[in-house]
Amino acid sequence: MIKTIGLLARKPGWTHEQFMKHWVEVHAPLAHAVPGLRRYVQNHIRDERTRADIEALQVEIDGVAELWFDDRAALKAAARTPEMQALHADGAIFIGRIRSYVVEEMTIIG
């Protein structure tokens, strides 16, 4: 399995509540149509946890998205589909800033 993780921040002029409503009610259903997408997870920010002994990164985000695929080939194939292009086009409506990573999970506990 391989996945992408996206740190998402809303567009200027959008409230956090508007961002969340669109992300859940409009954007999420589009993910169901993406070929090869095995899992889609929306991580909704509820609170911030800080530590006194480590400086916090200066980044404000509204959510973290995870898209899971069987492998890099499936990710690349999905990226070329009209369904993924529709998902990205919708993202451009409400996401103002994004930082995405392709990661491979290494489970330590679980």
Q: How open is the CA angle 105-61-42, to the nearest 5 degrees?
A: 50
Domain definitions of the chain by residue range: 2-47+61-103
Supply the pLDDT for residue 57.
Answer: 83
* Statement: 2-47+61-103 belongs to CATH 3.30.70.100: yes
DSSP 40-79: EEEEE------BTTBPPP----SEEEEEEESSHHHHHHHH
Give residue-wise pLDDT tens across range 44-67. Answer: 998 888 889 998 888 889 999 999
How much of the chain, in percent, has pLDDT values that exceed 70?
A: 100
Give residue-wise pLDDT tens across range 17-26. Answer: 999 999 999 9
Residue 87 burial class via C-beta count within 10 angstroms: exposed 0-12, middle 13-18, buried 19 and up: buried
**pTM to 2 decimal places:** 0.89
